[in-house]
Chains A and B, each alone.
Chain A
Amino acid sequence: MQFVGGSALGLLFTPIPWKVLNDSAIWTQNWPWIPAPLTGEFTSFGTTCTLCQSACGMRARSVGKQPVSLSGIPGHPFNNGSLCTAGILAHHLRYHPSRLRQPIKFLPGTGYGTPLSSTTVVDEISRCLNGNRGPVVILDGRPGRTASALFGQLGEAHPAVRYIPMSAPAFDVLHTMSDAPLGPLGYDIDGARLLVNFGAPLFDAWGTPSRASKVMDTRASKTQTVIHVEALCSRSASRSDQWIAARPGSEALLALSLACVMIEEKLYSAAAARTIGDFGEFSDYIRTFSPEAVSGASGVRPETIRTTARAFASQSPALAIVGNDASYETCAAVMALNILAGTVGHTGGVARRNAIPDAAVFPSSGVRAVSLHDVPDHSICTLIIDESLSGCTLSDALLEKKLVPKDATIISLSPFVTSRPYCTQYVVPSTVMFETMSDVPGPIDAAVSSLAVSAAVLQAPDGMMDAVQFAQMLGRALGSTTASGTTEELVKQRVAAIHASKRGTVFAPSTGVSTALQQCASADELWSALAEGGCWMDDAARGDNAPAAMTLMNAFRAAQISLPQSHNVDQLFVVPFAETTIYNGTPVSPLLSKVSQESGLRLSLRQAYVNPATAMARSVANGETISLTTKNGSMTVQAKVDASVMPDVIFVSIAGSRESSVSAHSAHDVRLLCNVNENGSFSSTPVSLQKVTA
């Protein structure tokens, strides 16, 4: 016993206890089933991020061909060396837990999918498309790609198929105001002296943080002024020169009021006014929306409206912009402002841009594509959506509105599970970034066209399709002819067509500089620059691009904007709220979603922002439970008293959850309480607030 006691004591003075403890801890980190990164010599290659339309140039540090870390390419015209958090972790998406491994068929209302074999799903899709069930619509969330050209070919070749590329709703409205076709349009944000931003996430998500930083740099160097109109002091609002807090849903009234001041004080562009055929009628219409009349409904003081209108008219070129989720009324009113300022078709305004030169294999019919909003409600029997690239989140509420109730089918190409509970849905698994070659056109509302290329370096799992292969499969199912060839061959033909046009500049990461495309000796040289993460940017459209003749009132008669009969100063409004990010609704690296969702920096479900004045008037303290009641129902939430929201508006969190069908939400989702706009977005809705006492 004494020997054992001595041994035990002695053991404490040897390295055995703490060394074994240390090594055992390390041993648990190296169990064989824990995946270990590849080892070997590091190499790097350039490519283009496909997560959103910004087409940021990125450099991948890799072991073999496996990317292990991503960073921006310095000097790149789109992102100048920076990447957003989603882009930095883009190489994780290949291993995302919700990655689809085989096709799935979802039946309406079940939420559960049945796995199908690749052959079966093609057969079922073929039967579905050829069943004479009614119109087939192909919805393209990322137009301008090679796959888009193939989808367009299907739309032209098959009478039952309609191809609808995603477009900026504000420009759709502007097209309807012009008597002659305007062609592709874009916001020349860099060229504007004054920006009046009606809620677009300019500095936090519109084109990724890296794009936003570029915009901020441009603004700093050119003394550009940005005025942000929003009910919430979002990051975009806080980074702007001025924040105008306006009630949600009153943006159209506010824009018309600015237009009213411009007309009253004759601050508009005389040249632009001469092109407006119904200027007199529009002037009469607009006088209703005087600053005094609009002030009550918008919560903005009349003098603020007048000052802003005068600044907008005097600081030429001035540009009014609006987010792509804005209502038709807001788009119409904001575009009218640009027309009055005379900046449509000019530098620093709504610029016309040249389309990307088309390859010979993609003949264009010249027919202007229609918008999804123009499709009659409940008319689509079969909807095909290419969701292979993220960043093209579509409003499910809008889709649900356009589909034939209970009998519609959605066929989607997606790398991830995307269940839509209100219809039958086939999901075909697609490749993700690094697994397929893809051309990446610039944003749909950019001032100039651009094209970049994303490299294929990794072998895609069996059964995955890229968008081009998907379009070719649909073509075979429909019995239509589409351009044949591999994705790389087709993309190379587009690049050759761009080279033949001799327009624009090309940025080559190897040199770090942009040069005129005319100096690029061959299409192969251009391809090499694009394939290593470079980009091609078109020249700005030349000549006088101002619209020759405009008619505004058609749009405003359709919009039916009217002042509220009476404004109850005590009326509260409720608005669904989610932090704006580029990746709203699309999967990101689990690492990123864990950090952002569990950091406590965001509101969680059933929490709401309430302005201190509103809270004080109703004796609500921070953290207390309140009950919200609208004509659609009621729910209880926890109040977070915060001065970053305007008085009388309650922002209830949807916690960044994917926008989905209203019918799919739980009883705790604020969207059930809100009215739905014609474009599928949720509008601010009158609400009554009551404090819940324990």
Chain B
Amino acid sequence: MLKPGLLRFLAGLFFSLVIGWYVFPYALYEKFEQPIQFSHKVHTGETGGLSCTDCHEIKSDGRFSGIPALEKCASCHSSAIGTSSQEKILVDEYVSKNREIPWLIYAKQPQNVYFSHASHVKLAALECTECHGSHGSSDSLRPFQRNRISGYSRDIWGSTMSRINRASWDGAKMDDCENCHDRRHVANTCLKCHK
């Protein structure tokens, strides 16, 4: 039979573990829905026929367009070409009003980091899925989770709090960049990313 003192101690221990591992992550991140439930699945692959770089363009001088501007969407969706409610929102709220879509960017890096998509995709020949997972074939957009303290997207830390046994696309902290560079024997100096 356990002594009452030990029981209280274990209860406190258990309480902390529950708070730390289950409650804290919920409290730390606030969730925001994307303005439109965009379906990558509809646009890419056999259904849509587009590739990643058709919209997320890497220009000839190395510039990366990032999330495409409204102009790109409007080139096909100047008027509705389907019947989905999300396309209706796109056309009515953004294209017809010429208003940029306020996308919430999952993979946005801080200002002090210089990341070149051209170097990683064209020079190092990395697949988009290496860092972005199956995002390109998703049928809807998951909520954007913003860290209440740092202001960063949850995707920078990764989906799990422990950061153990993660996939290559799950997290994009400095350690992840360094480890990837190490594995591929690429220079890992400060000025490589912090220009």
Residues on A lying within 8 angstroms of B by beta carbon are 2-11, 13-16, 19-20, 22-24, 26-27, 29-30, 36-37, 41-44, 61, 69
5 contacting pairs across A/B (C-beta < 8 A):
A14-B19, A15-B162, A41-B66, A41-B69, A61-B63
Asked whether, in the complex, the Cβ of A6 is within 8 Å of the Cβ of B10, the reply is yes
CA of A16 to CA of B24 in the docked complex: distance in angstroms? 7
Residues of chain B with a CB closer than 8 A to A4's CB = 12
Q: Which residues of B contact A (CB under 8 A)?
A: 5-6, 8-17, 19-21, 24-25, 28, 61, 63, 65-66, 69, 110-112, 147, 149-152, 157, 161-162, 195
Report the minimum CB–CB distance from B15 to chain A (whole Å): 6
Chain A residues, CB < 8 A from B10: 6
The 7 closest A-B pairs by CB, nearest first: A14-B20, A6-B12, A10-B16, A23-B149, A26-B150, A7-B12, A6-B9
Chain B residues within 8 Å of A6, by CB: 8-16
Give bound CA distance, A15 to B25, whole Å.
9
Say yes or no: A10-B195 contact (C-beta < 8 A), given A26-B149, A29-B110, A41-B65: no
| Residues in chain A near residue B110, CB distance under 8 A | 26, 29-30
Choose from A11, A22, A23, A26 the contact partner of B16 (Cβ within 8 Å).
A11
Q: How far is the CA of A14 from the CA of B13 in the complex (A)?
A: 10
Q: Check B111 against A7 for contact (C-beta < 8 Å).
A: no
Q: Chain A residues with Cβ under 8 A from B61's Cβ?
A: 44
The one of B8, B11, B16, B149 in contact with A20, judged by C-beta atoms closer than 8 angstroms, is: B149
Task: Specify which chain A residues have a CB less than 8 angstroms from the CB of B66 in the assembled complex.
Answer: 41
B154 to chain A, nearest CB (A): 11
Q: How far is the CB of B83 from chain A (nearest CB, A)?
A: 32
Q: Return the contact of B151 from the options A13, A15, A30 (Cβ within 8 A).
A: A30
| A3, B9: Cβ atoms closer than 8 Å | yes
Other than the known A11-B16, A15-B162, what 19 A-B pairs have Cβ atoms closer than 8 Å?
Answer: A2-B6, A4-B12, A6-B9, A6-B15, A7-B16, A9-B13, A10-B14, A10-B16, A10-B17, A11-B20, A13-B16, A15-B20, A19-B28, A23-B28, A23-B150, A24-B150, A36-B111, A44-B63, A69-B195
A contact face: mostly helix, strand, loop, or mixed:
helix
- A5 and B17 contacting across the interface, CB-CB below 8 Å: no
Pair A15/B16 contact, Cβ less than 8 Å: no
For A7, the chain B residues whose CB sits under 8 A away are 12-13, 15-16
A2-B9 CB under 8 A given contacts A13-B17, A36-B111: yes
Q: Chain B: which residue is nearest A6 at the CB level?
A: B12
Known: A6-B16, A7-B16, A10-B17. A30 touches B150 (CB 8 A): yes
Contact between chains at A24 and B149 (CB < 8 Å): yes
Nearest-CB residue, chain A, relative to B20? A14
Question: In whole Å, how far is A246's beta carbon from the nearest beta carbon of chain B?
Answer: 40
Q: Shortest Cβ distance from B163 into chain A, in angstroms?
A: 9
- Report chain B residues within 8 Å CB of A19: 24, 28, 157, 161
For B21, the closest partner residue in chain A by CB is A14
User: How many Å lie between the Cα of A19 and that of B12 in the bound state?
Assistant: 21
How many angstroms between the C-alpha atoms of A49 and B150 in the bound complex?
Answer: 39
CB neighbours of B152 from chain A (8 A): 23, 26
Q: Verify A27–B111 contact, CB threshold 8 A.
A: no
* A29–B112 CB distance below 8 A: yes
Report the bound CA distance from A8 to B15 in whole Å.
10
Give the distance in Å from the alpha carbon of A73 to the alpha carbon of B173 in the complex.
Answer: 34
- Measured in the bound complex, the distance between the Cα atoms of B76 and A223 in whole Å is 61
Counting chain B CB atoms within 10 Å of each CB, the highest count among A6, A23, A29 belongs to A6
**Chain A residue with the shortest CB-CB distance to B25:** A15
Are the C-beta atoms of A10 and B149 separated by less than 8 Å?
no
Looking at the assembled complex, report how far the CB atom of B174 sits from the nearest CB atom of chain A, in whole angstroms. Answer: 11
Contact across chains for A16 and B150 when beta carbons are under 8 A apart: no
Contact call B20/A2, Cβ cutoff below 8 A: no
Most interface-central of A3, A8, A69 (chain B CB within 10 A)? A3
Q: Which chain B residue has the least Cβ–Cβ distance from A10?
A: B16
Contacts of B25 in A (CB 8 A): 15
Whether A10 pairs with B65 at a CB distance below 8 angstroms is: no
Bound-complex Cα distance A9 to B12 (A):
8
CA distance A449 to B111 in the complex (A): 43
Q: Which residue of A lies closest to B17 (CB)?
A: A10
By the criterion CB–CB under 8 Å, are A42 and B147 in contact?
Answer: no
State A61–B61 Cα separation when bound (angstroms): 11
CA distance A41 to B69 in the complex (A): 9
Q: Tell me, rounded to whole Å, the shortest Cβ–Cβ distance linking B59 to chain A.
A: 9
CA–CA, A73 and B195, complex, Å: 20
Specify which chain A residues have a CB less than 8 angstroms from the CB of B149 in the assembled complex: 20, 23-24, 26-27
Q: Which residue of chain A is the closest to B27 with respect to CB atoms?
A: A16
A36 to B108: give the CA distance in the assembly, Å. Answer: 14
- Report B-chain residues with C-beta under 8 Å of the C-beta of A29: 110, 112
CB distance from A548 to the nearest CB of B (A): 53
Residues of A within 8 A of B9 (CB): 2-3, 5-6
Give Cα A269 to B8, complex, Å. 106
In the bound complex, how far is the Cα of B66 from the Cα of A526, in angstroms? Answer: 35
A36-B111 Cα distance, complex, nearest whole Å: 7
Residue on B with the closest CB to A28? B150
A27–B151 touching, CB < 8 Å = yes
Within the complex, the shortest CB–CB distance from A562 to chain B, in Å, comes to 55
Residues of A within 8 A of B24 (CB): 14-16, 19
What residue in chain B is nearest A35 (Cβ atoms)?
B111
